[in-house]
Amino acid sequence: MKFKALLASALLIVCSICYSEVKLPHIRVLATGGTIAGAAPTNTQTIDYKAGELSVQTLIDAVPELKNIAQIEGEQIVNIDSKNMTSDIILTLSQRVNELLAKDDVDGIVITHGTDTLDETSYFLNLTVKSDKPVVFTAAMRPSTAISADGPMNLLEAVTVAADPKSKNRGVMIVTNDRIGSARFTTKTNTTTTDSFHAIEQGALGVIVGGKPHFETRVDKIHTKDSTFDVSNLKALPTVVIIYGYQDDPEYLYDAVIANKADGIVYVGTGDGSVSDRSRNGINKALDAGIVVVRASRTGNGVVSESNIEPGIASDSLNPAKARILLMTALTQTRDPKLIQQYFHNY
């Protein structure tokens, strides 16, 4: 009898362990390359390394603690430096994320990405993912070979956030350096430091302390499952270019855009999206050619105002790169400037 009781107790313990493992959330890690997968010849080299050298499985294996947080599966989407990210790749990524999140056995997504264009890709998914399940981007400012590589901890914390039930319906998030940021507002603010990602005006959604997410706020803008945008059946995205405003900015840049039949232009104006006389002539020619124009600001912060004087749609608080992402996405549905202006205020 004593032996049977011990056997029953042992089986109960084993079953409890198995049950707890089964109940761990299922998180998919989608890798796209970047510094987090980068490598350099020496462990003190934090510049001039090669991005996108390591596979997704190598990244996962480097953080064995992940298995205590979630059931992890990896998938390599691409393995590139994010300066080479394209609209075709982000469209493929969005469609794959939607496909995975539609599965009952997938509880969240973590995407590893290069830092240079992470804010663009994450914002595109914020507009086009049709789920309230967590989608979390992470990255690194130092390659995997560096003494103080930040990638492993960032990956651990990104999975921790994606696995947390409180992370649902917060929009696409960016997790680096112990901070949880909104893809709508967060951007890279420094060329090399590990605390580069910030939303300077709006702040972070929360922080990670002692391995636990602490959420402090939410984003009021429309995102993810409530978004009107659906890219599931698209084969390509519209072409939108960015033209930077400065003293002596030339009109002929607009002639090139018109000749190449772009769908939209984001003009990076001075101050409150101000337009020089030379660019005004170019913008008016572009508008006459049916090209949709959005005015952003090169200042880095603030809301670009709607204007009866300046041509084009106001970018609201989006930086030029994110304004391009929203205009590109909006043009999949409409060319009506009034409706697109509302998109810029609401998304």
Instruction: Quickly count: other Cβ atoms within 10 Å of residue 86's Cβ.
Output: 12
Residue 129: which region, alpha, beta or left (left: phi > 0; alpha: psi -120 to 50)? beta
Active-site residue (options: 35, 115, 128, 224):
35
pLDDT value, residue 73: 98
What does the DSSP assignment read for 48-59?
S-BSS-S-HHHH
Parallel/antiparallel/unpaired status of strands 292-297 and 313-314: parallel
- Which residues in 210-302 belong to E strands, given as ranges? 212-215, 240-244, 264-269, 292-297
Which amino acid is it at 347?
A: Y
Task: Note whether 100 and 109 are within 8 A (CB).
Answer: yes
Per-residue pLDDT of the chain (347 residues; tens, 9 = 90+): 454 544 445 444 444 444 444 589 999 999 999 999 999 999 999 999 999 999 999 999 999 999 999 999 999 999 999 999 999 999 999 999 999 999 999 999 999 999 999 999 999 999 999 999 999 999 999 999 999 999 999 999 999 999 999 999 999 999 999 999 999 999 999 999 999 999 999 999 999 999 999 999 999 999 999 999 999 999 999 999 999 999 999 999 999 999 999 999 999 999 999 999 999 999 999 999 999 999 999 999 999 999 999 999 999 999 999 999 999 999 999 999 999 999 999 99
Give pLDDT, residue 22: 56
Q: Report pLDDT for 18.
A: 45
Does the annotation mark 44 as catalytic? no
What pLDDT does residue 29 have?
A: 98
CA distance 234 to 144: 35
